[in-house]
Structure 1
Amino acid sequence: MSDRENLTYVYAVVPDTSRLRTALEAVRGVSGAAVSLLGEDAPYEAAPSEAAPTEAAERPDAVAFVISRVAAHEFDERTLKSRFEDLEWLEDVARTHHDVVQSIARQDTVLPLRLATLYQDDQRAREALAAQRHVFAERLALLRDHSEWGVKLYVGSPGPQAPEDRGAGGPGNTGTLSPGKAYLQRRRAQHSAREDHYRNAQEAARRIDALVSRFRTHRVRHPAQQGALAGPEENVLNDAYLVPDDRTESFRAALATVAGDLDGVRVEVTGPWAPYSFAMPPPPPESPQEDAVRDGAAR
């Protein structure tokens, strides 16, 4: 397939190093395409009597896009609008995108970009990279030697109250209640237990905030998850923290017991992740739309 039939798919921004270029040789991206780095400058073509620049000559602030090529007819604007309604296709692309980013995160600092960030060709991508180089370099410096960790707080259901435990006057007295009164009493007991759980969740959130302030450098508050994503419990806190890599063990140990004495709440810590929550996409370019990044995830 010729370059004219391809689009340039961008996964992330990274430091432009020979070591990372080599590490990406075995990585495959969307549609199984080879993944590589696209730097600000066109590929160096040495004259017969010249030697190519060595890694020692690399600029310390040089950045590159992590890219692969995708078929234009599968990723053009019109096709993407329908494809993003195909959950099976979307899940496959999202998983591949994530796998590429995570493979880089194990090697070096990575600034993830949104799903389906596309350019018409390498030259357009290279121009956008050069225009935002200083912004990207500053963000990479912020993320260096840090990882993202997720902290979620859940409130459990109080569950049904046993009649023998909640009857008027204590155990053994439920027989004196009518079915209607017994039902209302159980409902009141459940409501009281739920209020206790929410109070405990507030206390857990306060403790979490006090603890992680000793370890994190930045925090992002995400909306609480709902439905199938939250499971049978209610998610009431869904935060992401940027934590120095040399402090992650202390971070996890501190959170492991933060809510151990609080009934009805559970703290979940996940990570390390590539810093998706702390990525900063470039601002919309001023060039005509056909020359701009076509961000499929936002459409």
Structure 2
Amino acid sequence: MNTSGSLTYVYAVTHRTGLLDDALATLHGIGQAPLRLLCPTADTTDPVPSTPLASLAFVASDVPEQDFNETALKNHFEDLQWLEHVARTHHDVVQAVAARAAVLPLRMATVYQDDHRARQALSAQQDVFTQRLDQLRAHTEYGVKIYLAPDATQPPPAAAAPPATSPGKAYLQARRAQRHSRDAVYQQAELAAEAIEAIASRHATQRVRHAPQRGELTGPEENVLNDAYLIPDDQAGQFQAAVADAARGFPDLRIEVTGPWAPYSFAMPAPGPADAPEPPS
């Protein structure tokens, strides 16, 4: 039940289990609010169901209405410090649930006027959520990124030009060498991407291709591949080892495997009832 002046914030969809019930008793959400499971019915005295379909639940907590109503969210989405805090807490809750049960992460700032509205949304989407959770069960997300080192596209130091070489000719030779070096490194990146795709075809059940990262996220390196893979848990070690082995064949690149993550890249958008404020695009 909501406290006065609060909204219901939903972090993820999962299946209610005894293990998860016990874990949520020690976890907290945004603003250190207690977490709770919202099932399609409001009777929280029911025993933990024995079938997954009956145990579908939202992971939720109360958040202050003054901070999460539509107007407040529009303002807060310009506040990077606030965004970082909410995103980190949201992620921590989802990861904690993922360690104990199949989880379908919802986007940050999915809020409802109260528990009743949240349960209505869960009931309306129950079949879709259940089908998606079945696909994600015993799977984990891993990311693979390919980076070009800052100096990888620079030509090697050139020998001193003969005295007869004009400055213009020397400049053109240097540019030609740089272009050839850059083309060679990009060709290596394409070959590496093909090698990773071949590995993923043996292990991954789904792939999402994200846009390469830029700016502060990559530093001086250039990110040229940023893919996410849904990997069965019993194949995760083989997948990581195969990518690491392939990376050794491309010394001019940095190939990074990230994870394990909750399956953010493979979750559906959160339901959007009329009373759920939407983050600005």
Q: TM-score when scaled to structure 2?
A: 0.92
- In structure 1, what is the equivalent of residue 52 of structure 2? 60
Structure 2 residue 249 is the aligned partner of structure 1 residue 249:
no
CA separation in 2, counterparts of 1:178 and 1:161? 20
Residue identity in the other structure for 2:62: R
Q: Are 2:39 and 2:57, in contact at CA under 8 Å, matched by a contact in 1? A: yes
CA RMSD of aligned residues (A): 1.8
Contact 2:36–2:60 under 8 Å retained in 1: yes
Deviation string 1:124-178 (CA, Å, 9 cap, x unpaired) is: 00110011111111111111000000011122332353132xx5xxxxx544434
Say if 2:258 is the partner of 1:295.
no
Q: What is the letter of the counterpart of residue 209 of structure 1? A: E
Counterpart residue number, 1:143:
136
Q: Does 1:81 align with 2:74?
A: yes
Determine if contact 1:29/1:100 at 8 Å carries over to the other structure. yes
* C-alpha separation in 1, matches of 2:249 and 2:4: 62
Q: Which runs of 5+ in 1 are unaligned?
A: 45-51, 168-172
Amino acid at match of 2:82: W
Q: Which amino acid aligns with 2:210?
A: H
Question: Shift of residue 113 of structure 1?
Answer: 0.2
What is the aligned partner in structure 2 of residue 112 from structure 1? 105
- In 1, Cα distance between the equivalents of 2:262 and 2:176? 45
Q: How does 1:189-268 map to 2 (within 5 A)?
A: 189-268=177-256
Q: Match of 1:6?
A: 6
Structure 1, 214-223 or 23-32: larger mean CA deviation: 23-32
**Within 1, Cα distance between the matches of 2:238 and 2:261?**
17
Supply the distance in 2 between the matched residues of 1:226 and 1:139 (Cα, whole angstroms): 31
Look up the match of 1:182. Answer: 170
Post-superposition shift, 1:275?
Answer: 0.2
Report the Cα distance in structure 1 between the residues aligned to 2:264 and 2:271, rounded to whole angstroms.
Answer: 17
Worse overlay, 88-97 or 274-283 = 274-283
CA distance in 1, matches of 2:113, 2:96: 25
What is the identity, as a one-letter code, of the residue corresponding to 2:122? Answer: L
SS of equivalent to 1:3: coil
Aligned identity (percent) is 51
Q: CA deviation at 1:107?
A: 1.1
Q: Secondary structure at the match of 2:109?
A: strand
Query: What amino acid maps onto 1:122 in structure 2?
Result: D
| Letter of the 2:125 counterpart | Q
- Once the two structures are superposed, the pairs formed by residues 157-172 of structure 1 within 5 Å of their partners are 157-159=152-154, 161-164=156-159
Task: Please tell me whether residue 126 in structure 1 is matched to residue 109 in structure 2.
Answer: no
Question: Which one has a bigger Cα radius of gyration?
Answer: 1
* TM-score normalised over the length of structure 1: 0.87
Shift of 1:198: 0.8
**Hey, what's the Cα distance between the residues in 2 that align with 1:284 and 1:54?**
30
Counterpart of 1:49? none
Where structure 2 has 5 or more consecutive residues not aligned to the other structure, the ranges are none
Q: Tell me how far apart the structure 1 counterparts of residues 162 and 237 of structure 2 sit (CA, whole Å).
A: 51
Amino acid at match of 1:35: L
1:48 is matched with none
1:92 maps to a residue whose letter is H
Specify the code of the residue in structure 1 equivalent to 2:263. P
